[in-house]
Structure 1
Amino acid sequence: MDGVNSTKPPSCTNEEEIIRAPLDYLLRASGKGVRDKMMNAFNEWLQIPEEKLEVIKRVVGLLHTASLLIDDIQDSSKLRRGIPVAHSIFGIAQTINSANYAFYMAQQELPKLEDPRAFEIFTEELLNLHRGQGMDLYWRDALVCPTEEEYLIMVSNKTGGLFRLAVRLMQMASESDVLRFPSSTFWGRFSRSATTTSTSRATSYVKNKGFGEDLTEGKFSFPIIHSIRSNPANIQILNILRQRTEDEDVKRFAIQYIESTGSFSYCRERLADLTAEAREIVQGMGGKTKHVDKLVEMLGLKI
Structure 2
Amino acid sequence: MKANIDRYDNFLSTLCGPSSRTWTDVQESALLEPYTYITANPGKEILSKLVDGFNLWLNVPEDKLAVINRVASLLHNASLLVDDIEDDSQLRRGIPVAHKIYGVPQTLNTANYVYFLAYQELSTLRPTIQHRTTSASPANGLGDDRPAAEKPEPDFARRIIPDHDLDIVVNAELMSLHRGQGLDILWRDTLRCPTEDEYVEMVKDKTGGLLRITVKLLMACATTNTNIDYIPLTNLIGIYYQIRDDYMNLQSNQYADNKGFAEDLSEGKFSFPIVHGILEKPENRQIMNVLKKRPKSPTLKHHTISYLKDTTKSFDYTLAVLEKLDRQARGELERLSGNPMLSVILDKLRVAAPALCP
Same fold (TM over 0.5): yes
In 1: Cα distance, 2:254 partner to 2:299 partner: 11
Of residues 284, 299, 302 in structure 1, which corresponds to 2:349?
Answer: 299
Confirm or deny that 1:251 pairs with 2:301. yes
Query: What TM-score does the superposition give when structure 2 sets the normalisation length?
Result: 0.77
Confirm or deny that 1:201 pairs with 2:248. yes
Aligned-pair CA distance for 1:285: 1.3
Q: Which amino acid aligns with 1:189?
A: L
In 1: Cα distance, 2:351 partner to 2:167 partner: 33
Larger mean CA deviation between 90-99 and 183-192 belongs to 183-192
Q: Output one character per residue of 1:196-229: Cα deviation in whole Å (capped at 9) or x when no partner.
A: 2323334443796356111111001111000000
| Paired position in structure 1 for 2:288 | 238
In structure 2, list runs of 5 or more residues that go unmatched.
Answer: 3-23, 130-163, 353-358
CA contact (8 A) 1:156 1:191 kept: yes
In 2: Cα distance, 1:301 partner to 1:117 partner: 38
Q: Which amino acid aligns with 2:242?
A: T
| Paired position in structure 1 for 2:323 | 272
In 2: Cα distance, 1:126 partner to 1:226 partner: 28
Aligned-pair CA distance for 1:51: 1.0
Which structure has the bigger radius of gyration?
2
Larger mean CA deviation between 167-176 and 135-144 belongs to 167-176
Q: Which amino acid aligns with 1:280?
A: G
Of residues 191, 215, 220 in structure 2, which corresponds to 1:172?
Answer: 220
| Paired position in structure 1 for 2:168 | 120
In 2: Cα distance, 1:39 partner to 1:275 partner: 19
Aligned-pair CA distance for 1:178: 5.0
Report how many aligned residue pairs link the two structures: 291
| Paired position in structure 1 for 2:263 | 213
Of residues 76, 81, 96 in structure 1, which corresponds to 2:93?
Answer: 81
Q: Which amino acid aligns with 1:134?
A: G
Aligned-pair CA distance for 1:151: 0.8
In structure 1, list runs of 5 or more residues that go unmatched.
Answer: 3-11
In 1: Cα distance, 2:327 partner to 2:227 partner: 19
Aligned pairs for 1:139-154 (under 5 A) are 139-154=187-202
Could you say if the C-alpha distance between residues 206 and 238 of structure 1 is closer, same or farther in structure 2, counting changes exceeding 3 Å? farther
Could you say if the C-alpha distance between residues 198 and 104 of structure 1 is closer, same or farther in structure 2, counting changes exceeding 3 Å? same
**Root-mean-square deviation (Å):** 2.1
Aligned pairs for 1:16-31 (under 5 A) are 16-31=28-43
- SS of the aligned residue for 1:17 comes to helix
Aligned-pair CA distance for 1:179: 5.8
| Paired position in structure 1 for 2:72 | 60
CA contact (8 A) 2:65 2:218 kept: yes
Could you say if the C-alpha distance between residues 179 and 243 of structure 1 is closer, same or farther in structure 2, counting changes exceeding 3 Å? farther
CA contact (8 A) 2:177 2:209 kept: yes
Give % identity: 40
Q: Which amino acid aligns with 1:285?
A: L
Confirm or deny that 1:263 pairs with 2:314. yes
Q: Which amino acid aligns with 2:306?
A: Q
| Paired position in structure 2 for 1:102 | 114
